[in-house]
Amino acid sequence: MRNEPRGFSCSAFCCFAVRGFTEKRRVGLQNFSKERMNGLEGDPDLQFLLKGGDLLKVKSRSWRKTRFFRLNDDCKTMWQQTSKTFKSDSGFSLEDIDSVRYGRQTEGLRKYTDLSVEDRCFSIIFKSRRKNVDLIASSKEEAKRWVRGLEKVITGMHNLNRQQNTEHWIYNCMRKADKNADNKMSLKELKHFLRQINIEVDDSYAEMLFKKCDRSQSGTLEGSEIKHFYDLLTYREEIDVIYAKYASTNGQMSSGDLLDFLQYEQREPVSSEYVQKLIEKYEVDEIAKQNKCMSKDGFLMYMNHEEGSIFNPAHKGIYQDMRQPLNHYFISSSHNTYLMEDQLKGPSSTEAYIKALMKSCRCVELDCWDGANGEPVIYHGHTLTSKVLFKDVIEAIKEYAFKTSQYPVILSLENHCSVEQQKIMAHHLTSILGSALLTQPLGYQILTTNEKNVKCIYICIYIIYLYCLNKLDATFNNNTTEDADSVSEEDEAAELKEAEQKPKEKIKLAKELSDMVIYCKSVHFSTFEHSRDNHNFYEMASFKESKAMNLAENSATAFIHHNMDKLSRIYPAGSRTDSSNYNPVPLWNAGCQIVALNFQTPCKEMELNQGRFLPNGKCGYMLKPEFQRDPASQFDPKNLSVGPWLQKKTLHVMIISAQQLPKINKDKQKSIVDPLVRVEIYGVPADNASKQTHHIDNNGFNPTWNTDFQFTVHVPELALVRFVVEDYDAASHNDLVGLYTMPFTSMQNGYRHVPLLTKRGSLIPSAGLFVHIMALDGE
């Protein structure tokens, strides 16, 4: 079956590069690299990267070798020299870089280099599990120049809109297909190009397309012929149809036409003033702008920016009330945060804390044990996981706690240390964290936006068979502090192992460490009635997943009321030695605040967590719905009754098309994806649902489905919507192509683009879905 490319007229380009791209199309593939510079032409730091230079690469104290690095002409990939006989010189994509850190800011550099080279060091950190690249420059100035230049180019790449990413991606594929670098495209090169962009057509169609564009009959495409080929390839009929429906003013959209589109199709209650601002912002034709019209090119620009995204831009920043008690928020939380891989023999690393905090995780876990030379260490006790110094972890937390969120971080200390090393822990906490560490109660309202308690760190200590001295009881109950039992739940595997080794003795908790527990004091949970009568608002019970799931299933309303004025922390079962995760949704439905997951494991559960905390500035705190905070509420997620939670919606979803889906197997040029799309709803049991399209054969570039789905959502305030694109395989399981998860209440109606992420949560720059969304009030 012939697969014909389809798409939209791509003469609409980014505002800063319209003229450049148009001119470039006239001359074929020349000067492509300039467009990758993203406005940095002539920048001395960019020129420095393009020239490159020698750097000392560090892997251990004994492995230090000089390697040549430089930015490739595409301004998208780095080239690095290697001396391996059977390995060609290698490199990496800038899109795979998570960050560039100046100084000795990785475990490797701190361990294998001396303080004397601090200002000459920098590291390249990757989004995936690829190891950091630790480097030493010849001087402080050179190191800063590498860091500054890389950050400029990476920032420029991140600031590209979908249209710019598409342009750059396609032209980069064209360059790769141009094997002899003559800025022309032969029929053979055209076929190679089509495979590169993830589309397969039969030879007769490829020849027809080639001949249609080869107006000079020279046997190659060049100049305007390449532009014509590009326009045919990227034409999107669906955009033309939408635009034509509303462009009733001399073939263009007047401000009135655009207002009609926004109000009736997009369901946005906007004004004429807002429409004029959109025209000023996105229209690329000056004459149309003067006439207060939006051309098709300008309309495409609008659709490819955040106003045309499925995610509501109003929810991008902090928009929720941040003055509520801590108990009233879902809190993004990590379990065994120190682990990079599995729970039996994987490495422990400060890098794991950095990655979690940079994802706005607000509760991290530290399993603390006695270490050598009097220094406490963190690792998964009674296993072969490696150890990391407690001091190094606290230093990393101080550095990265508030890089992405200004709101409080909770340190969950699972303490196995002797009194002597507990005192060392207390010293490191106070000396390193300084004023960021919360040391005095703030009153009954725990979390507010007051300067006193944003950017602060709470200490929570989980202890086994320990006496706990704590000054909170004295502060709030006017008692003197005294020894009291505090028994917490912890990982079953370690708990059972420890029980086998020693009797249930009571170990003293150092007062210096205990006095740091202001909020989140660990208490043992027995019953809801016991907690109501005996526990305070600043206390927190820890539940293993099986017990929490049972309570959420069978006593949901009581659990919700417990979580209105108490804190609950849920953690994965000790049997999850592979660091897998449980489904967090039923626990959120029960109002649990700290639903801790293994952040190092890419999986559906972590995707749901990322979607839950996507809005509200990605600050790691999401305000629970009112019916999970109101003491009069009788909400039961399993048995829905009439109440403020019941806001029934009928959700209509049309999956229209996809654009520039990535190859699954990049090593096999002939491997073309057969994409299908699945839409999933996660929320209360009555709302859980999943529906999928048919698959499209051999087209990841611009597949079209035009498939309608309908869902009934009873409790939209707790619902998450998940889009999944997979590569269909009849013989085995489907491979993931990309996905996107978001709260139902943050979704925009109308024609929208859906960005796609990798399984590790990184944006796939040029890829996306095009959908139509309509959420209507149910009966």
Annotated binding-site positions for Ca(2+)? 336, 365, 367, 414, 672, 674, 698, 727-729
∠ CA 443-449-453 to the nearest 5 degrees?
Answer: 50
What is the residue whose two structure tokens read 């120190």? 338
Pull the structure tokens for residue 96. Answer: 């795979």
Strand partners, 525: none
Distance of alpha carbon 421 from alpha carbon 411, whole angstroms = 17
> What DSSP line would sit under 55-101, residue for residue?
EEEESSSS-EEEEEEEE-TTSSEEEE----TTS--EEEEGGGEEEEE
Distance of alpha carbon 591 from alpha carbon 629, whole angstroms = 9
Distance of alpha carbon 237 from alpha carbon 296, whole angstroms = 12
Q: Are strands 329-334 and 293-294 parallel, antiparallel or unpaired?
A: unpaired
Distance of alpha carbon 319 from alpha carbon 307, whole angstroms = 17
∠ CA 432-435-438 to the nearest 5 degrees?
Answer: 100
∠ CA 160-306-43 to the nearest 5 degrees?
Answer: 20
Respond yes or no: is residue 535 known to be catalytic. Answer: no
Respond yes or no: is residue 335 known to be catalytic. Answer: yes
Catalytic residue among 380, 416, 428, 535: 380
Catalytic residue among 168, 315, 328, 335: 335
Output the furthest CA–CA distance in the chain (Å, rounded).
95
Residues 6+ apart with CB under 8 A from 315: 615, 616, 746
Distance of alpha carbon 109 from alpha carbon 102, whole angstroms = 11
Strand partners, 78: 71, 92
What is the residue whose two structure tokens read 């601090």? 118
> 762-779 burial, b if ≥16 CB within 10 A, otherwise e?
ebbbbbbbbbbbebeeee
Q: Which of 29, 33, 332, 59 is nearest to 153 (CA)?
A: 33
- Give the residue ranges of the annotated binding site: 57-84, 336, 365, 367, 414, 542, 569, 672, 674, 698, 727-729
- Give the residue ranges of the annotated binding site for substrate: 57-84, 542, 569
Structural Rg of the chain based on CA atoms: 29
Residues that are catalytic: 335, 380
